Structure 1
Amino acid sequence: MSEQNERTSLWGGRFAGGPAEALARLSVSVQFDWRLAPYDIAASRAHARVLAGAGLLNPDELGQMLAALDDLEAACASGAFRPTVEDEDVHTALERGLLERLGALGGKLRAGRSRNDQVATDLRMYLRDHARGVAARLVELADALVEQAERHIDTPAPGMTHVQHAQPVTFGHWLLAHVQPLLRDLDRLRDWDERAATCPLGSGALAGSSLPLDPAAVAKELGFKAPAANSMDAVGDRDFVAEFLFVTALIGVHLSRLGEEVVLWTSQEFGWVELDDAFATGSSIMPQKKNADIAELARGKSGRLVGGLVAVLTMLKGLPLAYDRDMQEDKEPAFDAVDTLQLLLPALAGMISTMTVRVDRLAAAAPVGYSLATEVADWLVRRDVPFRDAHEITGKLVALCAARECELDEVTDDDLKSVSEHLDPSVREVLSVRSALAARTTPGSTGPGPVADQHAAAADKLDGWREWAIEKVVPR
């Protein structure tokens, strides 16, 4: 083992020799956990202060320690200090940097803590910080949908079930339907943050510390609400990772569903939406193509978000308490989820905000496929016909129209009478898309009035989320 390895290794005193190359290569994690460095340094500052409070660092030593940590942080940020191939993980690399600055004094910082509580703390800090970044990008996408919805509060569109024309809706209503799951995702992120806001530092390897530390002071300095209630759980818990990955996986599902609709809307068969050239791609062989690649990638990347959740749940399911090295596998899926959403969400927001909605095509498609049939049934109900019978009568009217290849408003008065004595020419008053939309006045429905209310409520909620997303919970 080299002198540098001896100096910076965080373990090995009871071993006669260094690890085999195969073990070292398998064990190393610094290539991906280096992004935790700013959080590890912040936690080191807090730990240094509680060591001083416990009388384990004198004021001069504390001053030197904090100055060295500040210098190390600046060097990490500038790239002047980087991990090497000999550093096992971020903690080893940073201790090496501290020892280079302080000599033996740097080794005092290790008292009362373990990599087990360090990494659990660092990862919580990282995810709490980046959850707000994800939230900010979600707000941007929701804003784009809300802005488009405002332009189309009363634009008729063919609402669908089973990808079949069902009933007319407004396109604003449809767009706002994609905002609601994003608002729930934002709720889930904040709810997750409430549970993630406990601090493991001070739990040591699993049993706490015999040194007179102050976990509550550390928790407060690092932006947590409280120290962990149980030291074994603190180092063995990765619920916060799994739950974060569930939220990101569900975000991925919501983005995938939006992407699927954009793919349909922009197809030649639909032709309801045209994407801005800046947010579409072409074909290397077919010059006419304009592809909704962002929407397709939203569908595709949902798979890796769901896969990250499955990987972590599978890794955790059989682990005994407290810490096990299997938990090294928690970070890459979490980092990948953050990176994926930070990449995908701005692209989706740009695509939505710049797309052109073909109002003429939407309006023309709204009544197609006998989508006003429910209006006929409801008209019969208002005339005291039981809905069971009204449904049957309307079905027969649709069958007649299908046989004659005509729309509902094209049948004659005699045709109406032949279907049922309850049908008369006054039914035509409900056989327009505008009247169908205007009749939807209940809260949450697709009429222009309720859609305007939904729009205002969504915009108001997003204003509140903007404030949460820019909160700073991790000290800098």
Structure 2
Amino acid sequence: MWHGRFREDTAEVVQEFTQSLDMDWRLAKYDIYGSIAHARMLGEVGIITKEESKLLEEGLRQVLKEIQEGTFSPKLSLEDVHMNIEARLTELIGPVGAKLHTGRSRNDQSATTVRLFLRKEMVDVGDGLLTLMDALIDRATAHRTVIVPGYTHLQQAQPISMGHYWLSHFWAFSRDFRRVLFALDSIDECPLGAGALAGSTLPLDREHTARLLGFKKPTDNSLDSVGHRDHMLDCQYALAVVMLHVSRLSEDLVIYGSREFGWLDLPDSFCTGSSMMPQKKNPDVLELARGRTGGVYGDLINLAVTMKALPSTYNRDMQEDKRPLWNSLQVVKDVLEVLPLLISRVEIDQEKALESFREGFALATDVAEYLVLKGVPFREAHAKVGKAVRWCIDNYKDLEELSLEEWKELIPEVEEDLLELMSLEQSVNRRETYGGTSFKQVALQIERGVKLLEEYRERLALYPAKFSL
């Protein structure tokens, strides 16, 4: 494609080193759609004839058919998906094929193709998140009145509704979904027509091309259009935070399902055994999800470092922008395929969960807040209850076992009404603050979550509908 300037052909070793087919062949369909829109625009503004525009489109659709049927094998010597498609097009329709690249560069062509691809991929990620959030709502509903220990520092802290626990992850993934929507918005501008960097002397209609491809508008500055990858970083960051939340959820489930905790049961079909130890039930799916998180973090740093000190505008380094993002997309889509199925079958052993509260003093905060309502300053109440806990530890007793006389000896302000509050269910249900763990508040959270999912589905549905050629 540049033989006019050079005396020598490109060395074979250079062709091998610079090719990008291993990364961009998956973009073929989107490259063809971008080319069809470009050909239509060229015909509309009169740069080529309507007949030539129609011939280009027919030829491009034939190339797409060959790719989909597997009869078109790309050539490494043609370097990338774009040149392979153009070369095959010219073979099919003759010299008119050479007119397709009028008014564009591979810089704006590639940038447009990637955005079309990413729009579909990020919609898929959004769909996966909605499925996961559905599974979390389902478990929250099933376990709304199931009481389990809540932890800070991995130490037993206060009793909570297991439904409340599931919803804590629902809200985390709902923020991830909004980040996916933000990434989709950042993708939603069309670089086609920006050229290599400075636009074109030809009368291109960039608004028309953007409309044909379903973008809300053309990009605003031709230099910036081909010189940034912010939209890819937005995607990469969204994927990294999804995996952060997946990893934390996986860690919890691995711990709560261990023999030492034992009150959470993972489905057998999502676990594996040991080749040596017959008794083992290993949470491999969760461990692999947790383990793949680091690679996605690395992909984010990879892309950021690639871009951090490049001079304006396009540099060949930017060919490597896709490698980390492709990996992250695959990891996240794989995780979102398996994790909702696993979550939907997690069960809780309520008896073991209640048993785990023994000697955990999970109601200590309730006693301190009871004293506050009796007029005791919180710091003083905190110290009094702390001393009572110490006495119980030394005397091998739980707070719930103390008689009124023992309470009064330890904390004179205690009255008989404390005893009726010393139950796990009372503790959970008295936490009626907005977003709290009471059964009523959890039911309200579930209701809000269901409505939010409906809204998210409507917002996500806008993106695929924007593009059809």
TM-score in terms of structure 2 length: 0.97
Paired residue secondary structure (1:270): coil
Aligned-pair CA distance for 1:61: 1.3
2:14 is the alignment partner of 1:23: yes
Q: CA RMSD in A?
A: 1.3
CA distance in 2, matches of 1:436, 1:52: 72
Q: Show the counterpart of 1:254.
A: 245
Q: Show the counterpart of 1:379.
A: 370
Greater shift in the superposed pair: 315-324 or 97-106: 97-106
Paired residue secondary structure (2:2): coil
The number of equivalent residue pairs is 467
CA distance 1:367–1:155, change in 2 (3 Å): farther
CA distance 1:367–1:87, change in 2 (3 Å): farther
Give the alignment partner of residue 229 of structure 1, picking from 220, 223, 229: 220
Q: Deviations over 1:4-46 (max 9, x none)?
A: xxxxxx3232111122233221100011111111111111011
Greater shift in the superposed pair: 458-467 or 218-227: 458-467
Letter in 2 for 1:282: G
2:155 is the alignment partner of 1:177: no
- For 1:280-319, list aligned pairs within 5 A: 280-319=271-310
2:125 is the alignment partner of 1:145: no
CA distance in 1, matches of 2:394, 2:8: 87
Paired residue secondary structure (1:160): strand
Paired residue secondary structure (2:100): helix
* Structure 2 gap segments, 5+ residues each: none
Q: Show the counterpart of 1:264.
A: 255
Q: Determine if contact 1:440/1:447 at 8 Å carries over to the other structure.
A: yes
Q: Deviations over 1:263-289 (max 9, x none)?
A: 012111111222222211111111221
- For 1:147-166, list aligned pairs within 5 A: 147-166=138-157
Q: Determine if contact 1:30/1:87 at 8 Å carries over to the other structure.
A: no
2:345 is the alignment partner of 1:390: no
Q: Show the counterpart of 1:474.
A: 467
Q: Deviations over 1:412-436 (max 9, x none)?
A: 3333222221124432122110111
Aligned-pair CA distance for 1:366: 4.2
Letter in 1 for 2:457: R
CA distance in 1, matches of 2:448, 2:431: 18
* Structure 1 gap segments, 5+ residues each: 1-9
Runs of 4+ in 1 over 6 A off after TM superposition: none
Aligned-pair CA distance for 1:149: 0.7
Q: Show the counterpart of 1:5.
A: none
Aligned-pair CA distance for 1:76: 1.2
CA distance 1:366–1:175, change in 2 (3 Å): farther
Give the alignment partner of residue 109 of structure 2, picking from 118, 135, 138: 118
Greater shift in the superposed pair: 362-371 or 434-443: 362-371
Q: Determine if contact 1:156/1:170 at 8 Å carries over to the other structure.
A: yes
Greater shift in the superposed pair: 333-342 or 107-116: 333-342
Paired residue secondary structure (1:15): coil
Paired residue secondary structure (2:78): coil
Letter in 2 for 1:474: F
- For 1:275-424, list aligned pairs within 5 A: 275-366=266-357, 368-424=359-415
Q: Determine if contact 1:54/1:211 at 8 Å carries over to the other structure.
A: no
Q: Show the counterpart of 2:194.
A: 203
Greater shift in the superposed pair: 373-382 or 15-24: 15-24
Q: Determine if contact 2:432/2:440 at 8 Å carries over to the other structure.
A: yes
Letter in 1 for 2:76: V
